[in-house]
Structure 1
């Protein structure tokens, strides 16, 4: 595929774990660490069978019985990580906010700064989930960070923030697809007195959104192998479509703006009386698009070598998507008109980017470009629902949802949590139905996506800092500590999310009216009251945090590598002995023993750790 960088090149790039990781894969005895100079060091192309078995053993050591099949590899995982951000599909939906509130340059520089901050958050997330690659993602990590007496309330809040944030994101993507579909229908109708003959009704948008959710559900109900084969194409189509649209706009837009307009024109379009605050409002674009970083980690139990593949894909997806989004913002801004507030923001299409397409390529060209934008948005919706369903499965596995025994079941035919998928379809469908009665309310619910997800991330990052001297957390095989120290990065990420959350809850224009009021803060408060009330009225009596089992109990039913019993054994499933643990330099305060914290090394990487250095 044209988007795939050669494996040999990747092994020579700095900040990539591939070379070091592959050179340390075990080939004979999985409990014996190897080194770069070991004679039995595996080369790229090592059979995934052993890695899969050892991933399952690591999951068992964490405390969960492996139930899902591991089919996702390096490229399907990276494609999934890029697709869940879905820049080409999501960015056009919010591009109008920065240019109307802060001027043309706000769209460019807010994205640039926001992408760097997104990388800070994503890198922290990547390190944390590398230590414990489970379907719960960031929701599970506090189990190894927070003291037991505080653990239930921490994981309850983080889990619900993560689940609701993802659900709002899925529902908003389906709703946006409904808007884009009808916007395309409007473009194809006649323009009469400055308005298109066809004007979409709220119920029409909701009907299309519900249809999209059902299609997402069908896709997410496929086998893991089917998902792997499908998703591996998402990122190449995304990137190629982006390149095609950029070239088309640059070639076909006749009257482009100059560089000073694009890079140096910041305005106060919000009415707050401050160009600085108006610029901050422009971060809504990047905040809404560049989130759900841990979506990839929810697929950990279906990914080969998850402790490396997942975190690495998160980091590269943010880098690729950041560059992709910056390029799109620059090109869109070059294609604005002098009177863009009337011609573009006030476009009868209802979508500023659609008007940019129309100006450049006419109805037919705009229809083609909008089709690809919608296709990428569709990919993003399917990817987001997949992550949301795996989070629901993990949450139900720990009995944190009503009727958890149903949603945590794995379908025998597909080998996937199909019940959790359709629970998410129903939940998101209920959210979208609100759009029939109130556009303001549904918009407020959608606006919860980024704050809820980001707050669930920084809560875990903050917990790691608060309980640094007392927790049993041991970093996984993937860390950037050598190049980007964890503590400064964590402080930057926490500060950024707190700032951007305040901004996202502010009205985007002044004076505030019932129409332009940002009701997200009201909905957020209602959700918080509901979750905490549920906790104190009964959930605290039965929910104790992630429900883990002892390794020995799970190990007794795990097959040996390649599914073969030990020589001389008559059993197909035998007890699994725990490999020697390695010691962390951090000491544990549990029980006052002061002994080094032990953690079993991840057997895909032989206990080795990627520290961000050159992987030559």
Structure 2
């Protein structure tokens, strides 16, 4: 019986079935001798065994370099990262709670639900919003479980694109990681643009209501002012993300706590303050077909209404991108993903139900002539306080609470963006990779941080020109991230179904079923959200989602065949 140590940290065995006696394997690779004691009841020819804990000894006459001597080489996180081909360069100071907090703050149900509630009301109304949330979060649970299983096996900052490379084999790894990486990072940049621009627009509404509202001579900030708000917000996010990771951990945890407390407060406050409340039947069964968009088929309307819930649940890949800075990464990253999605599902549904109980006149809430200019949730908050106390000031304060939640969401988004850009540059996939793949004395990828900030601002410049261009950019943040989420899952259940070696967290016999459910769901919503949103179709109501997705796909493939295929070989080991 002979074995050899692969670069994945696995021993590939060849030979006949052995008995249950322990086997001591001494395996030499490069500069180290790995000593592993393995006990197994039955070893079959061609089976693969994973060794999570390996003793490393320095051969005689070979002295480890200073970095390795002083870097805690016996630390299991560092050891696992070495097995995956990378040395520890980022500061590993995050706990499982901090890892979870980044994803929870990015999902930020206060952000997603507040900014897209108009879509839910217009397409299906209360039933589409409340029941659609259950459907979407169940499907996102499958995506999260499938991602968590892979994250446990490959805990690196590269996340999705690294997973794709490892799951497709040597021949397909470069193209698979190229496609996944670019879809992931472009989707993240667009997501940051979308979230921070949403905050700028909410500030516009807060100022409008604070100065009298649309019907009371209130001040409506121009599109240039909104872009200025957006730039200022991004500047603050860049400055915060230039701080050490211990500070970012604090911001992430505050953001998660703020979202939780905000939802708690609103769930209690809205029923108390609202003088008129919708019935239980209205909240869960009323289906709005009066959308003014020429669409009357209920199933079609319901499908379009799912966009609110699907958009609200994006961003949980952040836990994967933070694993190189998280302790016990092969467990903590998976826990972070699953917990963030689970709690967001619960808190989001509670917020949705509370808000929807205050809905009594859907056409009025969507009317651009109301006090909030057609911003439904802003009008709800403003109206319930005004009807109860004669002033909408309390509603403006509530909007301020939401604005802070969106701000924290943006902070964590830039954090996730920068780690993805850092990892992708480490593998040479981005232009000027050497610039973005660098860390400062505090072990922060500060160049990647500011790259993310600048690109998010540049994407928002489209708002000054063609509305078509801005809609196309915004569409990227809706579907492209989910495509990136499920590409490695698809590769796992197809090309990697036999070679994948699970980590501490795994789905056992349900792995394939959960994976295929996730893949099929994303395929379905890609089609759903590419459908026309109004009839007859005009240049002003055209759904640019398929154009945006096609544009990202075309650019990614064109750059691959024109250039990338000649030099990009997938993830590059930086341990020599």
| TM-score normalized with structure 2 length | 0.84
2:241, 2:36 → 1: CA distance? 36
* 8 Å Cα contact 1:101/1:508 also seen in 2: no
- Cα offsets for 1:417-472 (capped at 9, x unmatched): 1011111111111101111113332132122113111111211111111114553x
* 8 Å Cα contact 2:168/2:496 also seen in 1: no
Q: Indicate yes or no: 2:507 matched with 1:486.
A: no
- Cα offsets for 1:348-402 (capped at 9, x unmatched): 4131000110111232111110111010111111111111110000000011100
- Cα offsets for 1:531-573 (capped at 9, x unmatched): 21111111111111111256xx3xxxxxxxxxxxxxxxxxxxx
Q: Indicate yes or no: 2:479 matched with 1:451.
A: yes
Q: Where does residue 421 of structure 2 map in the other structure? A: 392
Q: Where does residue 200 of structure 2 map in the other structure? A: 178
What is the DSSP-based 3-state SS (H/G/I as helix, E as strand, rest coil) of the residue aligned with 1:145? helix
| Structure 1 residue 309 displacement after superposition | 0.8
Q: Where does residue 97 of structure 1 map in the other structure? A: 119
- Cα offsets for 1:105-158 (capped at 9, x unmatched): 111111111011111101100111110100011110122211211111111110
1:378, 1:90 → 2: CA distance? 12
Q: Indicate yes or no: 2:259 matched with 1:230.
A: no
Q: Where does residue 286 of structure 1 map in the other structure? A: 309
Q: Where does residue 358 of structure 1 map in the other structure? A: 382
Q: Where does residue 590 of structure 1 map in the other structure? A: none
Q: Where does residue 14 of structure 1 map in the other structure? A: none
* 8 Å Cα contact 2:199/2:230 also seen in 1: yes
**Correspondence for 2:544 among 510, 519, 526:** 519
Q: Where does residue 4 of structure 1 map in the other structure? A: none
Say which is worse superposed, 222-231 or 106-115, in terms of deviation.
222-231
Matching of residues 293-442 of structure 1 within 5 Å: 293-337=316-360, 339-346=361-368, 347-349=370-372, 350-362=374-386, 363-412=392-441, 414-442=442-470
Q: Where does residue 274 of structure 1 map in the other structure? A: 297
**Correspondence for 1:510 among 535, 551, 554:** 535
Identify unmatched segments of 5+ residues in structure 1: 1-29, 35-48, 554-616
Q: Assess, with a 3 A threshold, how the Cα gap between structure 1 residues 369 and 460 changes in structure 2: closer, same or farther.
A: same
2:552, 2:165 → 1: CA distance? 24
* 8 Å Cα contact 1:131/1:477 also seen in 2: yes
* 8 Å Cα contact 2:266/2:354 also seen in 1: no
2:380, 2:94 → 1: CA distance? 38
1:386, 1:123 → 2: CA distance? 23
1:258, 1:277 → 2: CA distance? 25
**Correspondence for 2:526 among 501, 516, 520:** 501
1:516, 1:287 → 2: CA distance? 21
**Correspondence for 1:143 among 165, 169, 172:** 165
Matching of residues 23-34 of structure 1 within 5 Å: none
What is the DSSP-based 3-state SS (H/G/I as helix, E as strand, rest coil) of the residue aligned with 2:168? coil
1:469, 1:160 → 2: CA distance? 24
| TM-score normalized with structure 1 length | 0.79
1:51, 1:544 → 2: CA distance? 28
Q: Where does residue 126 of structure 1 map in the other structure? A: 148
Q: Which runs of 4+ in 1 moved over 4 A?
A: 30-34, 49-52
Alignment size in residue pairs: 503
* 8 Å Cα contact 2:123/2:301 also seen in 1: yes
The structure whose RCO (Cα within 8 Å, separation 6+) is larger is 1
1:196, 1:100 → 2: CA distance? 27
* 8 Å Cα contact 2:111/2:312 also seen in 1: no
| Structure 1 residue 344 displacement after superposition | 4.5
2:88, 2:412 → 1: CA distance? 22
Q: Assess, with a 3 A threshold, how the Cα gap between structure 1 residues 469 and 237 changes in structure 2: closer, same or farther.
A: closer
CA-based RMSD = 2.1
Identify unmatched segments of 5+ residues in structure 2: 1-34, 40-70, 387-391
